[in-house]
Structure 1
Amino acid sequence: MQAFRLVGWRQPPELHEVPIPDPGPGQILVKVGGAGACHSDLHVMEAPAPLPGFTELPLTLGHENAGWVESVGPGVTGFGPGDPVIVYGCWGCGVCSNCRRGRENYCQNLAGQGPGLGGGHDGGMAEYLLVPAARYLIPLGALDPRQAAPLTDAGLTSYHAVKRSLHLLGPGSTAVVIGAGGLGQLTIQILRALSAATTVIAVDTDAGKLDTAGHMGADLALLSGDETTTRIRDVTGQQGAELVLDMVGIEPTLRMAAQVARTLGHLTIVGLGGAALPVDFSSPPHECSVASPYWGYLPELMEVITLAQQDKIKVLVEHFPLARAGEAYQLLHDGKIRGRAVITPHD
């Protein structure tokens, strides 16, 4: 089969011919319908040396995966050939206290590494993906795997980031989403689906993405600039927002996030921009909790799929065949993907 593989650090990934995996006991072979291209993949590609938790290259990319069960190994029950499924992307040890609670993204032994992210597991930017256990598969029902693939990371990451702060988002509250790309668009929809927040504000440097954010449910879409912080503080009566989600994580966005958060609020860093948040006695505001959640829990992905099945969240997707995976990542790098790019090996 064809697979899109990272063969060297700071080298462009390449298409290679590799053997189709044969599922062993407890394993499932998934025919990949869609594999999402994610900004975190760009960080892996651009890393000068192995990142923590990574095994030796080569490695097949792709940690946002959905498709159809192709075959199952001995002992697998509950799934059969042809079943449409989405793949939870954090593969833990399964026995530590966090894994036993469905929090495999915080596995205490394996750091929640899944396909395409190290730990020795090839990802789904290939015709087939070997999944080590049935617990990582969630039925998709009528959802198209080619559309649903980004839900396993972009959807789940956004969902987890919002859910942990729902107690702050009562009537009259404000949530700010900095970064209105694919991740931010899902975050806006999830805020609308889950919370009672009165005002959802989207901020971005791209007017086109802000227009999309408005259609996704943002009450106010602000082009990032010198007056943005003032506008947000005016909207919130100079108090700041109960929840600020930075989906970018670079120095200007983190500085803005600290300026528009409120006392006793939450400032949540989701983006992997690599900047540091300046902290002193008065910034962020007093008792404003700062967190950087990683992905989400396995049971939460089931909740995300339910929202999608109910048409409460939708992913804006651009499809690319496997042969154009490199082009998709270049467009992603250049900020030219409106929503999420999905590689479709079986188009």
Structure 2
Amino acid sequence: MKAVRLHSYGAHPTLDDVPEPEILGPWDVLVDVGAAGLCRTDLHIIEGQWDPIQHPHLPYTLGHENAGWVRACGSAVHNVAVGDTVIMHPLTSCGLCPACREGQDSHCENATFPGINVDGGMAEVLRTNARAVVKLDPALQPRDVAALADAGLTAYHAVRKAAPVLFPGSHAVVIGSGGLGHIGVQSLAAITSAEITVVDRSEAALELAGQIGAHHTVLATSDADVEKAVAEITGGGAHIVFDFVGERGAELLAPKLLRNRGSHYVIGYGGTVSLPTIEIISREINVIGNLVGTYTDLVELMTLTSQGKVTLHTAVYPLDAANDAIADLESGRLVGRGILVPDHAA
């Protein structure tokens, strides 16, 4: 089968012919990939940022945002059947460790992470497990939902955590309304009563944000201008700032947009949050990390999607154009999410 494989860090991945995966255990599920999302995390993987954390064995297949149709199931699988349309939670969790017992799939002690530390879904067939697959309404097409498996799940997870304090009259500021952020905006509009302000460098991204739930938009020309505009819009700062960028200065700007006792939700990554401890104490502000999301979060997000409350804005590429999609993402030409589709699903 065809698969997009990373052979060395800092180099472009290549489209290789590799053997199809097989059922190896009773809980395994094979999926004919209908679509695989392209994420900024993939850029960081190619750069080598994930090597010290996940130690993948190169070469391996990229793709951690995957949806498709069940091809085959292990002997113990009963929650899906051959032919079902499914989206995959990014991690294949064990179900037995303390984190799994609490429903915190992303912190499973025995998980594999397809596309991060084992072969992923930028291929024609993916091996996952029964705990990862979410059966979808057959009306949902894999190419329309695949990126929700990570980008959507991560964005929804952060919003879901913050929802209890985003009451009527509260203000949420979203930094970055691209691949993750535009899903975060829709999630905020769907499950909270907050007034939503979006900050972005792209006028196209801001235009989209205004169409999907943002009440205010701010073009990020300079940090000082953004601080002033947000202070005026929010009446003194945001209750929650969702930083979907996490690098290139956004991680330093975010705390400046908070009111006292506000929270900086870090979702994007790559930079370094730097705050004087006296400021954290005197303002009683919080910095909160967000890692992917739970299986339940993904089920809830799929419910919102089937209800039409969350929609992915995508650019579709054939699998063999993976490097074109990567170049478009790196250059900022992509608005929304890049989706790779194998020939059999085109």
Please give the TM-score of this superposition, normalised by the length of structure 1.
0.94
1:201 aligns with 2:197: yes
- Counterpart-to-counterpart distance in 2, 1:116 and 1:160: 20
SS in structure 1 of the partner of residue 316 of structure 2 = strand
- Counterpart-to-counterpart distance in 2, 1:297 and 1:285: 33
CA offset at residue 285 of structure 1?
6.3
- Counterpart-to-counterpart distance in 2, 1:228 and 1:152: 31
Alignment CA distance shift 1:39-1:231 (3 Å): same
Q: Deviations over 1:115-161 (max 9, x none)?
A: 0111xx21000000011x21211011121111110111111101111
Q: Is the 8 A contact 1:175 1:244 kept in 2?
A: yes
Match in the other structure for 1:22: 22
SS in structure 1 of the partner of residue 34 of structure 2 = strand
SS in structure 2 of the partner of residue 31 of structure 1 = strand
- The residue type paired with residue 117 of structure 1 is I
Please give the TM-score of this superposition, normalised by the length of structure 2.
0.94
CA offset at residue 81 of structure 1?
1.8
CA offset at residue 289 of structure 1?
1.3
Q: Is the 8 A contact 1:261 1:284 kept in 2?
A: no
1:273 aligns with 2:270: yes
Query: Map of 1:236-247 to 2, 5 A cutoff?
Result: 236-238=234-236, 240-247=237-244
How many pairs are equivalent? 340
Q: Is the 8 A contact 1:159 1:187 kept in 2?
A: yes
CA offset at residue 256 of structure 1?
1.9
- Counterpart-to-counterpart distance in 2, 1:179 and 1:19: 39
Alignment CA distance shift 1:344-1:65 (3 Å): same
CA offset at residue 235 of structure 1?
1.8
Q: Is the 8 A contact 1:44 1:51 kept in 2?
A: no
Q: Is the 8 A contact 2:251 2:271 kept in 1?
A: no
- The residue type paired with residue 131 of structure 2 is R
Match in the other structure for 2:152: 155
Match in the other structure for 1:37: 38
Q: Cα RMSD between the aligned structures? A: 1.5
Of the candidates 308, 312, 333, which is equivalent to residue 330 of structure 2?
Answer: 333
Match in the other structure for 2:53: 52
Match in the other structure for 2:212: 216
CA offset at residue 185 of structure 1?
0.5
- Counterpart-to-counterpart distance in 1, 2:238 and 2:279: 16
Q: Deviations over 1:81-103 (max 9, x none)?
A: 21100001022332111112221
Query: Map of 1:244-259 to 2, 5 A cutoff?
Result: 244-259=241-256
Q: Deviations over 1:207-258 (max 9, x none)?
A: 11110111111111110123111111112222x1111011111252122211
Q: Percent identity?
A: 39
CA offset at residue 11 of structure 1?
1.6
- Counterpart-to-counterpart distance in 1, 2:282 and 2:339: 39
Q: Is the 8 A contact 1:201 1:222 kept in 2?
A: yes
Match in the other structure for 2:229: 231
Match in the other structure for 2:113: 114
- Counterpart-to-counterpart distance in 2, 1:75 and 1:233: 56
Question: Where do 5+ consecutive residues of structure 1 fail to align?
Answer: none
Q: Is the 8 A contact 2:99 2:107 kept in 1?
A: yes
Q: Is the 8 A contact 2:27 2:77 kept in 1?
A: yes
- The residue type paired with residue 229 of structure 1 is E
Q: Deviations over 1:163-191 (max 9, x none)?
A: 11112211111000000112111100000
Worse overlay, 287-296 or 276-285: 276-285
Q: Is the 8 A contact 1:9 1:49 kept in 2?
A: no
Worse overlay, 295-304 or 67-76: 67-76
